[in-house]
Amino acid sequence: MRLLVVEDNVPLADELVASLNRQGYATDWLADGRDADYQGSSEPYDLIILDLGLPGKPGLEVLRAWRARGLATPVLILTARGSWAERIDGLKAGADDYLTKPFHPEELLLRVQALLRRAHGLANQPLLEAGGLALDEARQSCRRNGEDIELTAGEFRLLRYFMLHPGQVLSKSQLAEHLYDGETERDSNVIEVHINRLRGKLGRELIQTRRGQGYCFGAAS
Amino acid sequence: MRSIQRSLSLGLVAILVIVGLVLLQTSLWLFEAGLKRSLETDLREETEGLLLAVVRGSEGMKLDIQRLNPRYHRAFSGHYFLIQLPGQTWRSRSLWDASPAWPEAPGLAPELLAGPRDQRLLAYTAHYQREGQAIVISVAQDYTPVLDSFARVRLSGLGLVGMALLVFLLLQRYAVSLALHPLERARRQIAQLQQGQRQQLEGDVPLELQPLVEQINHLLLHTDETLKRSRNALGNLGHALKTPLAVLTSLLEREELAAHPQLRAALEEQLGQIQQRVSRELGRARLAGEVLPGGHFDCDAELPALFDTLATIHRPGLDLRWQAPPGCRLPWDREDMLELLGNLLDNACKWAAGQVRLRIERHADGYLLLVDDDGPGIPAERREQALARGARLDEHAQGHGLGLSIVGDIVAAWHGDWELAQGPLGGLRVRVTLPLPGRQARATVDQ
């Protein structure tokens, strides 16, 4: 999952990005409204966390510009302006959720998780369930038939992306775009290695290879 | 209460009464003076006639009865005379046994004489010389009919003055109400302002009212701008305070602190207190309260957006509904009302199993807001306590720091009341009673 954080306060952004990274999200960070306006709609983000008081261009205008261009990515507004009138303005501009500062980091992670599931049409349950697997996003482990399966950070990221897109054919470049942030060098071999390890832990038939197209998760079940 | 209409009427009545009475009396005086002058001529001619009746007889002077007007013979006819010669006096027969106090001085008597049978007599005395003898002739005429007719004239004059008074009052009332019409319109507009049905007074008023209306409009605009500016400044302050707080809260999750659970707990508690305090005070400072008379909350425009927002931020599947009188406009500031309803409904959504209802009812002296949910509710014995503590009813749910304490602040600022009860859906019912702002202001002034 690839996230964009737009926040002009550097210490807060540092903490946010670090905390999101620990949860296995590939996170890009921008501080200026104009940059966000451009990059938010040009890169394939799965979710955007947007502050309202931004230099360059106010957050609400950035959001309106995205929505006007047809960007459907879920947007969570993170702001110190917590009055209901401002919340309503935010949601009217096209936000999907609204969190006021100061906030608990777990609260933010839960909201992000819920928004991602909602965006993929999944119910908001404690565990992410797909293809006969249950994924515990907080503990970054996977459970099948009552048996816990430990995952590395890279495997967890990949599996979560697959489980949010069950039955869809995902190309290698698409996976790379959504699993790594803009800074990381994308090496398609790494993805192949992770897929092979997941097949080793969960069974070969769970992730099928579609020659010339990519991979498909849970198509058999 | 002083009324312009009444003081104008009082002034007019006083002036009309004084002018009417003075005119009436003066014209009567002038008329009487003229009448007396003409009567004086008549009486003088009468004495001259009587002088002719005094003739020389065989034994000195004598009165020739034949030459006398017959009215001097009829008793109490109203015409009398007295002729005095040295050693001789003749009285008219009409005097009968009466003896009025005839005046000595020549000319018209200054006072009316008391005559027989309650008659008031106008008397005239003339001195003549005939053949070396001094003759004093006094005549008198009954003046009572004239006095009576004067009294009648005075009475009808008073009646006329009264009639004129009535007509003038009615005309004046009409004229004044016509002239005061702009004032009445301004008064109605101010009442509408108080009820939130308008934001400004109309500038189309007479010259005399122009400065007043302009000043009120200016004040309204100024208050509105000040409120916006201070809200914006508070927003910036909130941003400046809350962002570092958010950083500190995030820093608490650092690995380094995991080794010191006590330190982390202490920091967490203190940070929590700061957050709560900052949120509460900033929220309270944002309230417009009753500063803006033109503020209003348009239910049909605001409630759908509020409910959409609630539906978006809460779990899907919640059944949220509202009910308000058609075209309902609540006479309170929009942002304050959103804050009140938002917090109450947000709380209801957190607890509800599946349904949340808002009901707004108009009553004679204010509005009633009812927020119901089908959640677990609060036992009766804990409800008072929950309200008294600043009502941290949302303690279990993270995120919305303000909670219900701000609801208490808003209700208090509006002189309203709120209570918790058992709701018809099985959960909690929050009942908020709000008196109309104008009434409350008047009641405070009366006290």
Residues B245, B316 within the same domain: no
Digit-coded pLDDT (tens) for B361-411? 999 888 999 999 988 888 887 777 667 654 444 444 433 334 677 888 888
Q: Which residues does chain A have with pLDDT short of 70? A: 219-221
Does B65 map to a domain? yes
Residues B275, B316 within the same domain: no
**How close does chain B come to A105, measured CA to CA in Å?**
6
Average pLDDT in chain A:
88
**How close does chain A come to B431, measured CA to CA in Å?**
20
Contact assessment for residue B404 and residue B340, using Cβ atoms and an 8 Å cutoff = no
Domain boundary among B286, B303, B318: B286
Q: Give yes or no for B341 touching A (CB within 8 A).
A: yes
Instruction: Residue B350: give its domain's CATH number.
Output: 3.30.565.10
pLDDT of residue B187: 85
Element (H, E) at B155: helix B144-179
pLDDT of residue B389: 55
Retrieve residue A24's tokens: 């296995």
Residues B225, B348 within the same domain: no
Residues B383, B272 within the same domain: no
pLDDT of residue A220: 57
| Distance in angstroms (rounded) separating the CA atoms of residues B139 and B427 | 112
Digit-coded pLDDT (tens) for B224-276? 888 889 888 888 888 888 888 888 888 888 888 888 889 989 998 898 888 88
Does B352 map to a domain? yes
Does B441 map to a domain? yes
Neighbour tally for B116: CB within 10 Å: 18
pLDDT of residue B322: 93
Domain that holds residue B354: 295-446
List Cβ neighbours of A90 (8 Å cut-off, separation of 6 or more).
A52, A60, A63, A77, A79, A98
pLDDT of residue B395: 46
Q: Which residues does chain B have with pLDDT short of 70? A: 1, 290-294, 385-386, 388-403, 438-447
Residues B268, B402 within the same domain: no
Residues B131, B67 within the same domain: yes
User: Which residues in chain B have Cβ-Cβ distances shorter than 8 Å to A92?
Assistant: 305
| Structural domains of chain B, count | 3
pLDDT of residue A31: 93
Residues B267, B314 within the same domain: no
Residues B236, B341 within the same domain: no
When CB atoms are compared, the residue of A80, A85, A86 closest to B242 is A80
Does B197 map to a domain? no
pLDDT of residue A34: 94
Query: What's CA A26's distance to the chain center, in Å?
Result: 7
Does B213 map to a domain? yes
Query: What's CA A207's distance to the chain center, in Å?
Result: 21
When CB atoms are compared, the residue of A53, A97, A100 closest to B401 is A100
